[in-house]
Structure 1
Amino acid sequence: MVGLVLVVAGVLCLGLYQLYVSITTKKKLPDGAKPLPGPMNLPFIGRVHDVPGEGSWLKFHEWGQKYGPIYTMDMFGSTHIWISSESVATDLLARRSTIYSDRPVIPNLPDNRYSGNYLALAGRNDTWKRQRKLAHGLMSVSAAQDLHAYPTRERDRLLWLMATQPAEYREWIEQFTSRTVARLSWGSAAPADTLRVTTQGLLETISPAGALPNVVSFLAGLPRWASPWKRREAARHAVEEKLFTRCVASVREGMEGGGARPSFVQTFLSDRSPGGKYADVEVWDAMYTVGQMAIAGALTIGSPIQTFLLAMLHFPEWQRKLQEEIETVCEGRCPQWSDRERLPMVRAVVKEVLRWRPPVPTGIPHAVEKDDVYEGYFIPKGATIHALEWSITRDPVTYPDPEIFNPARWLEESYPTYRAPLTTYPNLANYSQFGFGRRTCQGVSIVEQDLFLTMGGLAWAMDITPKRRPDGSAVPVHWNDFTPLLIAKPAAFEFDVKIRKGRETVLRQMHEEAASGDDLEEQAFNGQATKEGMFAKEASGLSEVEGQYHDFEKGDAHMQHTQC
């Protein structure tokens, strides 16, 4: 009882202090500037009561239609600015990137800006610049190593699982994404399961709907004993650090034995001798840079693949058109990355999936580093800026009939989004979905390969059809029911698949070839086929920490259930 009283008293004190700070630090408008439009804020809470727990981007979009392409609102003393126009986002986040490239503090992850542990969420500082340069270099060198063999291999594994067990589609797609990025990062799919655990945990940590302090920011000041979210993140981070350490040790050991497969870490370790490209780069920097690249890929790629299935159910005519193009170009075989220039419709479907249901509908937030004035409106230092992708992709001038899934908008000259030649366009370069300015995602080429191969492969291998009830009626499929976290994924839906004529034997063979060697990889990763030493110790430590994290997850879930 005493503990509860102390917590309540602490929350009240923190809340009053936050209110005091927000009032006393309210900035006076510069001469000639005017305040941004937006809904009227209530004292202390702002408009947080209007933001729904699910589909929040729909409310932000509604406000954008009412108040214009840039507006502001407060949430518990924090100023948030929402941009619903690509031109405004480009003006501020790209053309004025010197002051709009920072990241805000995430209350539930207060070291995100400075620790060097969160590349995509890091502040604009020397650590971020160093890691960003390293990430660019590793991906550039690896591109020359032809690493698309990894997503092709995992795609071939995925197709058979989807064709034979479609009810588990979300599991198979998540396996595909985590296994692919694990291979790219460390040359092995063995770390994929643990990567999925820590990735999902991080997504919940940083999402407004996943952790209360990300909305009620002053709660971040509560002590650890009164903050289950802090204990959860500490346990998750321990798993992550052990995993990354173990993966680097595994690659190093493989290199010493002459059996390391190409990967980002292998590229780094291969060029660390005196005078080498990475001679002055610390292993810790590379370990976390590559690890966060893996997490970013595991987080984002699964959502559009699931959305593709949803689109094929609602717009089956595009499934037929895809299949016709693939048959004409590939003459019966499964599409490969080398076919991309001759498969513009597959590329158009990839791009349209991302537009129709953006995987990050609210965008990744930026932070303003100094006061600014835009089109006469005052933008205060410290404000959080959101490029609202849901609104940007619903501009009816750029995207006529935006709610219609229509890849033709990228293929036909009558649409404003058409570009020639079709051997090159459409592609994902400079697409708003991947951010603006200095914060543009560096892994666009990886995403493009993964989505091209999976969507093209699914269309080649099977017909995606509605699930039928015993009376023959179709089971309804939702249009826009997505998870509420920062990276949104479609809620579960039912469907059937039918393997296309002449594909079953080929699909089985593709799966067998793709899965061969998995057991040996697992053994090597767990130290069972390697010499004793640091690697075995790290493996033991990771297993122990993983167990602690899973125990905490169960306890946290039980606590949340009993509170409800």
Structure 2
Amino acid sequence: MDNDNSNVLSLLTYTCLALGGMFILNKLRKIGSRGSGLPPGPPTLPLMGNIHQFPTEYTAVKFSQWGNEYGGLFSLKIGPGTIVVVTSPRFVKELIDRRGTTTGSRPHFRMLQIITDGLNVGMMPYGPTWKNTRKAIQMFLTKEACMRHLPIERAEAIQLLYDMIKQPENTFTHIQRHATSLILSVVFGVRSPRYENSTVTEFIEVQHEVEALLEPGAHPPIDLMPILEYIPERWASWKGICRGLRTKQQELYFRLRDKCEARIRENRRNGSFMESLFDQQEKLGLTRDIIGYIGGVSLEGGSVTAVSHLQTFVLLMAYHPEIQAKAHQELDQVVGQRLPTLEDYDHLPYIQAIAREVHRFYPAVPMGLPHESTSDETVGGYFIPKGSTIFMNIYGIYHSEEHFDEPEVFNPDRYMQSEFGTKPGADTTGFRNDLHFGGGRRICPGILLGDIMVSMNVMNLLWAFNFEATDLEKRDPRIPIKHTDFVSGLATGPNPYKCNIQPRNQGIEDTIRDEYTLSRPIFSMFEHELSDEEKTFVKNW
């Protein structure tokens, strides 16, 4: 009898183990697989999903290829995690714009959490802290606030022209200095009159390191496979890199914050955004650390995108003399020899078309910043589970053959023929002229300031200069510029290039020199903390 009981017990034990093993195997089998109802996508492998196919650079280009194959809404599996990629303006409107309450959060980004202590408002999850900081940022980005900063915006744009007259071979860094110094002036109340050995170079070096680290596919998928976080640091170099970037970034942002605070105490205000934040710190419930990061994130968002756009613009102009000729003709008719004003821009439709086509041809942030769904959604008959990471593939939307004729060709005339540059008969549902600024509740709050910077500089540069490519032995200008001519990263821009830049005539050159001299009183309001070396540079320059 005892033997019978023992046999039964053994049988039950083995049965339970077998059932348990089958249950575990079934669960493991589902990890990495594309569940029922998800948007289509490339075939998956058990446990891994699509991790073996995930691009490590130029992510937007690969996602665009998958978008052409699987449709404007497709999915990827990274272990148990789900990524949904939107490569259709119609789905942007449906999923990101109209359902911003459930798709307006950000995914947990462990590496960025380490770098920023979770204080980066651009990547902060939706919640009370994000709403409070977003409100603070919007305070200085109203139309009225942006107009108050117009004098320094105009002055910095004039220095860019002046710098390019004096050292045209350094145009690449002149653009970086211009955009970064302008945002430093508006946000922190301090400018950098030169590129070398300044806050500009310090910021650019740190920002490039952060962008390279955060590009999708450039690092292990820690957030979708959390077990990777437990790998010892000797085999996980990203941990040390993150801590090093945190030290560099906070030293820069907090130093700029402290200098602004000191100017307030000494009654040396110049109308910067940070002054407004300190004035309303108690009302808005802001800590000093988050004030520093609000300023830092504003610097990142404003300068990085402007640098990318203007460097791309100059590159494209250098290889398209026929486009320059049409632009020069329009500017000569409307503006003449005087320096253009912002009011002129409304009367320059071809200049507007060029600026829009630069955004379309290579957007500064090709994949946007990732969203996260905070509840289950159904869009276009597809199931989007809670916790999905959602990418808005801006590059893919702007390079869709369904919507654009010859999307790989730079052609501003497309915007002279239709509002969104789309080909005749194309479905424009969901299109808007600011798609490159993102969508939903996370659309960039700096749209107006960014548009002013782009409008003013594209207009000024075309009014002032002739651009000519000088490395023709490396490139036939009849061959379209490729994505490999651009830096791979979360934010991008062209690789360094050479071009010949000359003032269009002596009268224009004289006007620029005179306007630069007249701008000195405006610059001086933002030059309280210049080093002795920088003071000498300003005097001699």
| TM-score (normalizing by structure 1) | 0.78
2:371 is the alignment partner of 1:366: yes
Q: 1:544 aligns to what?
A: none
The equivalences for 1:162-561 within 5 A come to 162-190=164-192, 191-208=199-216, 210-213=218-221, 217=225, 218-224=227-233, 226-271=235-280, 278=283, 280-396=285-401, 398-412=403-417, 431-467=434-470, 478-480=481-483, 481-502=485-506, 503-512=508-517, 524=529
Deviations 1:196-254 (A, max 9, x none): 23322321232235544569955333344543322222222223223222222222322
Q: Name the CA distance, whole Å, in 2 between partners of 1:38 and 1:85.
A: 15
2:60 is the alignment partner of 1:57: yes
The equivalences for 1:39-50 within 5 A come to 39-50=42-53
Q: Name the CA distance, whole Å, in 2 between partners of 1:50 and 1:167.
A: 41
Q: Name the CA distance, whole Å, in 2 between partners of 1:415 and 1:248.
A: 40
Measured after TM superposition, the shift of residue 43 of structure 1 is: 2.5
Preserved contact between residue 116 and residue 285 of structure 1 (Cα < 8 Å): no
153, 156, 165: which one aligns with 1:154: 156
Supply the AA of the counterpart residue of 1:488: T
Preserved contact between residue 152 and residue 523 of structure 2 (Cα < 8 Å): no
Preserved contact between residue 340 and residue 347 of structure 1 (Cα < 8 Å): yes
64, 84, 93: which one aligns with 1:81: 84
Supply the AA of the counterpart residue of 1:394: H
Deviations 1:23-57 (A, max 9, x none): 5778996xxx6332111112333333334433332
Q: Name the CA distance, whole Å, in 2 between partners of 1:28 and 1:356.
A: 33
Preserved contact between residue 141 and residue 267 of structure 1 (Cα < 8 Å): no
134, 141, 145: which one aligns with 2:136: 134
Q: Name the CA distance, whole Å, in 1 between partners of 2:503 and 2:488.
A: 33
Q: Name the CA distance, whole Å, in 1 between partners of 2:398 and 2:476.
A: 33
C-alpha change, 1:279 and 1:109, in structure 2 (3 Å) is closer
Q: 2:13 aligns to what?
A: none
Match of 2:413, SS? helix
C-alpha change, 1:173 and 1:477, in structure 2 (3 Å) is farther
Preserved contact between residue 158 and residue 512 of structure 2 (Cα < 8 Å): yes
Preserved contact between residue 109 and residue 223 of structure 2 (Cα < 8 Å): no
Measured after TM superposition, the shift of residue 441 of structure 1 is: 0.4
Preserved contact between residue 89 and residue 397 of structure 2 (Cα < 8 Å): yes
Preserved contact between residue 76 and residue 215 of structure 1 (Cα < 8 Å): no
Cα RMSD for the two superposed structures: 3.5
Match of 1:185, SS? helix
Q: 2:127 aligns to what?
A: 125
Measured after TM superposition, the shift of residue 443 of structure 1 is: 0.4
Match of 2:52, SS? helix
Q: Name the CA distance, whole Å, in 1 between partners of 2:379 and 2:432.
A: 27
Supply the AA of the counterpart residue of 1:197: E
Structure 1 stretches lacking a partner, 5+ long = 1-18, 419-427, 529-564
Supply the AA of the counterpart residue of 1:89: V
Q: 1:11 aligns to what?
A: none
Structure 2 stretches lacking a partner, 5+ long = 1-24, 193-198, 424-430, 534-541
Q: 1:12 aligns to what?
A: none
Match of 1:498, SS? strand
Preserved contact between residue 306 and residue 490 of structure 1 (Cα < 8 Å): yes
Measured after TM superposition, the shift of residue 21 of structure 1 is: 8.3
C-alpha change, 1:152 and 1:211, in structure 2 (3 Å) is farther
Preserved contact between residue 116 and residue 127 of structure 1 (Cα < 8 Å): no
Q: Name the CA distance, whole Å, in 1 between partners of 2:53 and 2:127.
A: 35
C-alpha change, 1:498 and 1:54, in structure 2 (3 Å) is same
Q: 1:99 aligns to what?
A: 102
Max radius of gyration: which structure? Answer: 2
Q: 1:533 aligns to what?
A: none
C-alpha change, 1:401 and 1:429, in structure 2 (3 Å) is closer
Preserved contact between residue 469 and residue 500 of structure 2 (Cα < 8 Å): yes
Q: Name the CA distance, whole Å, in 1 between partners of 2:34 and 2:399.
A: 35
| TM-score (normalizing by structure 2) | 0.81
Deviations 1:171-199 (A, max 9, x none): 22111121111011111114433322332
C-alpha change, 1:400 and 1:490, in structure 2 (3 Å) is same
Q: Name the CA distance, whole Å, in 1 between partners of 2:280 and 2:200.
A: 26
Supply the AA of the counterpart residue of 2:261: R
Supply the AA of the counterpart residue of 2:397: I
Q: 1:556 aligns to what?
A: none
Supply the AA of the counterpart residue of 1:198: V
C-alpha change, 1:233 and 1:513, in structure 2 (3 Å) is farther
Q: Name the CA distance, whole Å, in 2 between partners of 1:124 and 1:108.
A: 18
Q: Name the CA distance, whole Å, in 1 between partners of 2:472 and 2:32.
A: 60
% of aligned pairs identical? 24
Preserved contact between residue 176 and residue 200 of structure 2 (Cα < 8 Å): no
Q: Name the CA distance, whole Å, in 1 between partners of 2:268 and 2:419.
A: 53
Measured after TM superposition, the shift of residue 156 of structure 1 is: 1.5
Q: Name the CA distance, whole Å, in 2 between partners of 1:118 and 1:144.
A: 23
Q: Name the CA distance, whole Å, in 2 between partners of 1:214 and 1:316.
A: 47
Q: Name the CA distance, whole Å, in 2 between partners of 1:60 and 1:28.
A: 17
The equivalences for 1:16-27 within 5 A come to none
C-alpha change, 1:522 and 1:45, in structure 2 (3 Å) is farther
Deviates more, 1:215-224 or 1:142-151: 215-224
Q: 2:10 aligns to what?
A: none
Measured after TM superposition, the shift of residue 429 of structure 1 is: 7.5
Q: Name the CA distance, whole Å, in 2 between partners of 1:339 and 1:476.
A: 33
| Number of corresponding residues | 494
Q: Name the CA distance, whole Å, in 1 between partners of 2:419 and 2:95.
A: 30
Q: Name the CA distance, whole Å, in 1 between partners of 2:28 and 2:185.
A: 47
C-alpha change, 1:414 and 1:457, in structure 2 (3 Å) is closer
Supply the AA of the counterpart residue of 2:487: T
Measured after TM superposition, the shift of residue 525 of structure 1 is: 5.8
Supply the AA of the counterpart residue of 1:192: V
